[in-house]
Structure 1
Amino acid sequence: MFVVCGEALMDVYTGDRTGTGLLLDARIGGSPFNVAVGLARLQRPVAFLGGLSTDAFGERLLAALQAEGVDGSLLVRSPAPTTLSVVGLDAQGVPAYAFHGQGAADRLLSPELLPALPAAARVLQFGSYAMVVEPVGSTLRALAARERQQRLVAYDPNVRLNVEPDVRRWQAVVDEMAGIAQLVKVSDEDLGLLYPGQPAAAVAARWLEQGARLVVVTRGAQGSEAWTRAAHARAEAEPVAVVDTVGAGDTFQAALLTRLDELGHLSVAGLEALPGPVLQDVLRFAGRAAAVTCARRGADLPRRAQVA
């Protein structure tokens, strides 16, 4: 079983003006939430671990998890509000986010509230702003450190400076998690924010020295690249008419984990033994899945049959 840890929220898209305001289109979201849904749609058994509000938005998020077949037994319910992420899109369909989440349910997960992991859990996925805001950040990082000897830990920083604007804070957390996670996936955009001027290969080499077994860098329309201690691979991006890129990185992560699992490489030993051609196959699969999401509005992740 996969356990995805982090935030669940509502993405609120701004629409046309009305006589007294704006039309809004609220959609279920949050990077870890999307990864959990993506894994379920790709036919992986998955549970979601995180704080979830009992308000109307939280109930809608819970209903979505249930409908997708995501196990909700590790959710920690709270009367605190749901985080709202107001999304605006530029002419190229690239999203800009404004978060309204201070004191929200997804941030309030503390160590004493942390549920016990099921024995079947063998992969823990972490990421996004839940790793840097408190108390949930410290709680999840401690969980990752505690479990890395017995379960595979995967991590995607998914930097959001409009949630936590201090780049040094993000750097500290990413450096800490790079020493804990055996699989790290990061976008070139995030690398540019975290380590300006440093080549991706140099950052990957540093993370591999710290303990990672696989480092993957996504480059949007330029495809993706990956390193292990013994192998290196690149894959071109799938051609697609982009509607928007919301959820593309989350799709890539879910598909990356899925394909590694399907090929029998989703373990520490399996990552270490990845040959270059198989690694390229994994990148291509994840890229195809991300392209499906880019062709749709919002984080509408593909099902297994839609990823050839």
Structure 2
Amino acid sequence: MTTSPNFLVIGECVADVVRADGAPDRVHPGGSPANVAYGLARLGRPATLLTQLADDAHGRLIRMHLEGAGVVVRAETVARTPSAVVELDGDGRAQYAFDIGWTLGAAEVPDAPGYVHLGSIAAVTSPGAETVLGIVERLRGRASVSYDPNVRPALMGERAVAVRRVERCVALSHVVKASDEDLAWLYPGEAPESVARHWLGLGPAVVVVTLGAAGAVALGADGAREEVAARPVRVADTVGAGDSFMAALLHARAAGTPLAVCLAHAVTAAAVTVSRPGANPPSSAELAAALGSGSLSRQPR
């Protein structure tokens, strides 16, 4: 497998304070774009994260986590590292309460990335979102752009404004991934595949919708439609599952893998992640092992 060209991921880091009944709080490095960069590095892809961090305990934890996997961290200094209290229900599903701002200013961009990924809070939150979109607009003619809205309703503001911001990002992208929950908030009452077709009309080559326990479906601008079932797994929690899916999808596409196989890799990576606590995506060896097995059991962190 070639490890070039590089991935540039732009977006927030967040310290996830995971809280469940009867258990002490656990702090995990998080933030959707940071998780994608980490997941790519774990799969052997050179990844640079353009972000914001403070020189505080959470910031040092996140930097050590990312750099330990091989991510190159280019961080603008802020006063406080963003955080989120993550409440888990009895099925391990996560709800988030954020303490975050996004103010990324003029940023030095690594030379000639082959892939650029944006998403989540950093793609739609002013004033930093304008910096992000400006970078993407400059690079999209010579890099493949991917986007995951990773909708956080508490931070999205008025729905109509949020939809316009999200659709601007979709129109800049070649590959888009969203969950059925993202689409339900953005477009209430519309079927996920109907929204995916609408998004294809804005410009992407591929739109992928994750469907939780029902798997995932991908639509291509060339008329292709691929669907894959979820992998059976005992869930520890769902933190980072969508980001792990995204990283594995991008990893497989960068290798020229057919779309149906990309989906199989992505749902398998997500299954490994939900089988253990926190946003803990698989390494290339773990993903290969999981792809070769018929089912997944809980794996240690």
Q: Distance in 2 between matches of 1:16 and 1:189?
A: 24
Report % sequence identity: 40
2:98 aligns to what?
Answer: 99
2:266 aligns to what?
Answer: 286
Displacement of 1:114 in angstroms is 1.1
2:77 aligns to what?
Answer: 77
1:307 aligns to what?
Answer: 287
**Is this contact kept in 1: 2:153–2:185, CA < 8 A?**
no
Q: Give yes or no for the alignment of 1:217 onto 2:209.
A: yes
Quick one: structure 1 residues 222 and 173, their matched pair in 2 at CA, closer, same or farther if it must change by over 3 Å? same
Structure 1 runs not aligned, ≥5 long: 266-277
Displacement of 1:167 in angstroms is 2.0
Of 104, 107, 113, the residue aligned with 1:109 is 104
Structure 2 runs not aligned, ≥5 long: 1-5, 289-301
1:49 aligns to what?
Answer: 50
Q: Distance in 2 between matches of 1:116 and 1:30?
A: 20
Greater mean deviation of Cα atoms: 57-66 or 43-52: 57-66
Amino acid at match of 1:236: A
Of 126, 129, 135, the residue aligned with 2:127 is 135
2:12 aligns to what?
Answer: 7
**Is this contact kept in 2: 1:159–1:170, CA < 8 A?**
no
Displacement of 1:23 in angstroms is 4.1
1:234 aligns to what?
Answer: 227
Query: What SS does the aligned partner of 2:117 have?
Result: strand
Displacement of 1:170 in angstroms is 2.0
**Is this contact kept in 2: 1:5–1:126, CA < 8 A?**
yes
**TM-score, L = length of structure 2:** 0.90
Quick one: structure 1 residues 158 and 147, their matched pair in 2 at CA, closer, same or farther if it must change by over 3 Å? same
Q: Cα RMSD (Å) of the superposition?
A: 1.5
Q: Distance in 2 between matches of 1:209 and 1:133?
A: 24
1:30 aligns to what?
Answer: 31
Displacement of 1:15 in angstroms is 5.3
**Is this contact kept in 1: 2:170–2:176, CA < 8 A?**
yes
Query: What SS does the aligned partner of 1:130 have?
Result: helix
Displacement of 1:63 in angstroms is 1.4
Displacement of 1:202 in angstroms is 2.1
Quick one: structure 1 residues 23 and 307, their matched pair in 2 at CA, closer, same or farther if it must change by over 3 Å? closer
1:196 aligns to what?
Answer: 188
Q: Distance in 2 between matches of 1:91 and 1:169?
A: 34
**CA offsets 1:258-302 (integer angstroms, 9 cap, x no match):** 11112x26xxxxxxxxxxxx2111101100110000100111111
Of 156, 166, 190, the residue aligned with 1:174 is 166
**Is this contact kept in 2: 1:35–1:254, CA < 8 A?**
yes
Q: Give yes or no for the alignment of 1:255 onto 2:248.
A: yes
Query: What SS does the aligned partner of 1:210 have?
Result: coil
Q: Distance in 2 between matches of 1:15 and 1:221?
A: 22
**Is this contact kept in 2: 1:6–1:126, CA < 8 A?**
yes
Amino acid at match of 1:292: V
Displacement of 1:100 in angstroms is 1.2
- Count of paired positions: 282
Greater mean deviation of Cα atoms: 131-140 or 283-292: 131-140
**TM-score, L = length of structure 1:** 0.88
Q: Distance in 2 between matches of 1:158 and 1:215?
A: 14
Amino acid at match of 1:38: G
Amino acid at match of 2:86: V
**Is this contact kept in 1: 2:20–2:89, CA < 8 A?**
no
